[in-house]
Amino acid sequence: MDIAAGRHAQGSRLIAVVGPYQSGKTTLLEAILYRTGAITRQGKAADKSLAGDASPEARSHAMGVEVNAATVQYLGDSLTFIDCPGSIEFSEETRAVLPVCDAAIVVCDADPKKAPALQLILRQLDDAGVPRLIFLNKIDRAEAAPRDVLAWMQPASSRPLLLRQLPLWKNNVVSGFVDLALERAYVYRELAESQVVEMPVDIADLEKSERFVLLETLADHDDELMEQLLSDMEPPKDRVFADLSRDVAEGHVTPVLFGSAEHGNGIGRLLKTIRHDVRGIEATAARLGLKSSGAAVAQVLKTFHTAQGGKLSLARVLSGELADGANLYGGRGQEARVAGVQAYAGATLGKVAKAGAGQTVALGRLEGIATGETVSAMKGNTAQLVAHEAASGVYGFAISVADRKDEVKLTGAVARLVEEDPSLSLEHNHDTGEIVLWGQGEMHLRVAIEKLASKFGVHAQSRPRRIAYKETIRKPVQLRGRHKKQSGGHGQYGDVVVEISPLPRGEGFVFSDTITGGVVPKQYIPAVEAGIREWMASGPLGFPVVDFAVNLSDGSYHDVDSSEMAFKTAARIAMAEGMPQCQPVLLEPVLAVDIHCPNEATPRVNQIVTGHRGQLLGFDGRAGWTGWDTVKAMMPESEIASLIIELRSATAGVGTFSTRFDHMAELVGRAADQVVATAKAA
């Protein structure tokens, strides 16, 4: 009897499949679907025939761009797998999913360059408290021994990595493995279950040594097992498996298995390990702090908008039972009625009458319910179990449509995209008059634009966003502005004397008057201020004017021809003639930037900052992150537009940053001339 298969079923479980970009996650899911009979043919990434990543955007770019789910039946258990994108640009998809998963398979290959990406993923799992195991993929191409691979992987993990298998080699190719817990040897068969063989004599000593390491690690949390090892007693295998299951669930260890997803090698052992070591929904609900009253409670993992079915909410039922037509309540008091329950059979959705605790299903038309929300069938009793705040955008470009009458359609389509992916955001920039789409990187936004066209029929153009430059003055000036016009009947007459002076940076605009003797009647003074404010929207250099004061000191009026409009016009004339004499200067926004990167990349990041007119303020170790730094700097906003692209290139795809506005600074010389020339040519 296979001990790993001899345990009682734990019902429906949810497993996240995560890992660095191009580690083979979707291929692994394909192999699982094939091995469990959910599909009849195992597709390949090369010919774009994988059941996962079936969207046009995923296949076009040969990468995962959103989470994909599939459910398989295995030895009496229902296992749902969620394949998560590997690129950091789409990692927000993963953050909403992980907290409600029972465990995660971390797919990685033997490439030390991926250690920073692996650390990011393991950190996400740590933050969510999710048990995990590592599947070392592409073992058929590996040149290093698993123990050597663990040596560079261990610093990325906060938990001890526990080698579960040893490779069997034949003609310099991995042909099978030894399961250290079972003490059995297996040889691989292409796209089929591995075959048990006699333990090779030449690996027996190494097997005993590595098995002892495994048992020693487990004994760190089991005093009785430690006594057995000290007494040279062989522990019962059921105790070894019980310790493995407990230590994985409690986060004491991270087991490491290996195989080749493309060839279907190691899949059976992986599934049996999941079945044996991963606990079910009760443990996950307890981790989330769910106090069940028997009512249905579910967590929304992802929102989809489909052409035929409308809005679908991918959700996991945490307790109770959810039926079609049920009323659900969100934490903000909103109410939604379930318009259909769909469950996965393989990677295909089909209607079901209801779903029980542990199941992951798609719920129809939960209007007003967003990704990351907890919903309950009991009104007024919906505590939000997962705290999830979408990351701020680090890359943005302006978007528009050819016909202005389609702008409402564009805004509506982007709103649905943001509902699907909260790490996108739309900004109506009042300073530049642009609609700016923000996301997590260039590819992230490119995919968003493609989805606007493919899913919502909105063909948007994109362009670099404008920077909200402003201008100010250095020199005070006093001058008169007079507007006099006679055109038969009543004419127009307004006459003002204004004193224009600079203010300290950040003071904005101040208007005052020192009128005496009624030379400008009180009822016309507000019109003078209004005229100045209208003019200051575009100064001599073509940008909004800030940090200056205007005092109305003198003027004259006409009993018949003066009016508010005449004085407003006179004020504009005074500003237009006076401001060019005040030595106008361009101001650019400067941001405070915190850049997070692996410490080996810090020198390169410093070069990037200084190469973009940035001022380095220093760096320190990133709090709570082993081997990472946080570089602090001041950088002009115009230089940050492409920062994320260079940063990702310098950090193997894992660097990121956050910004906040700090101040406006003078921009002079050739750079200022180019900005002014570009604005005038637009």
Torsion (CA) 371, 374, 375, 376 in degrees, nearest 10: 170
H helices of 309-423, in order, are 407-420
What's residue 53's pLDDT?
A: 79
496-513 pLDDT tens trace: 999 999 999 999 999 999
Percent of the chain whose pLDDT exceeds 90: 84
pLDDT of residue 173: 86
pLDDT score of 308: 76
| CB-side neighbour CA atoms (13 Å) of 214 | 30
Mean pLDDT of 186-212: 94
Average pLDDT over residues 590-616: 96
Least confident of 45-49, 535-539, 604-608: 45-49
- Give the residue carrying structure tokens 């006179």: 570
Residue 414 has pLDDT above 60, yes or no: yes
User: pTM score, two decimals?
Assistant: 0.90
**Tokens 């995560």 map to which residue?**
18
**Domains of the chain, first to last:** 3-284 (3.40.50.300), 291-376 (2.40.30.10), 395-464 (3.30.70.870), 471-582 (3.30.230.10), 587-681 (3.30.70.240)
Q: Which of 271-280, 484-493, 565-574 has the lowest mean pLDDT?
A: 484-493
Whether 409 shows a pLDDT value over 80: the answer reads yes
The arithmetic mean of pLDDT across residues 384-389, rounded, is: 85
**Would you say residue 8 has pLDDT above 60?**
no
Burial 571-585 (b: 16+ CB within 10 A, else e): bbbbbeebbeebebb
- Tell me, what's the pLDDT at 10? 59
The encoded tokens of residue 596 equal 């997070």
The pair of three-digit structure tokens given for residue 241, joined into one six-digit string: 């498996």
Q: Determine the average pLDDT of the residues in 279-301.
A: 92
DSSP per-residue string spanning 593-605: EEEEEEGGGHHHH
pLDDT at 576 over 60: yes
Per-residue pLDDT at 4: 38
Confidence of residue 605 (pLDDT cuts 50, 70, 90): very high
Rounded Cα gap, residues 146 and 288, in angstroms:
34
44-48, 128-132, 456-460: which has the minimum mean pLDDT?
44-48
Alpha-carbon distance of 468 to 506, in angstroms, equals 15
Q: Closest Cα partner for 355 from 386, 303, 318?
A: 318
Enclosing H/E stretch for 607: helix 602-611
The H or E element spanning position 577 is: helix 564-578
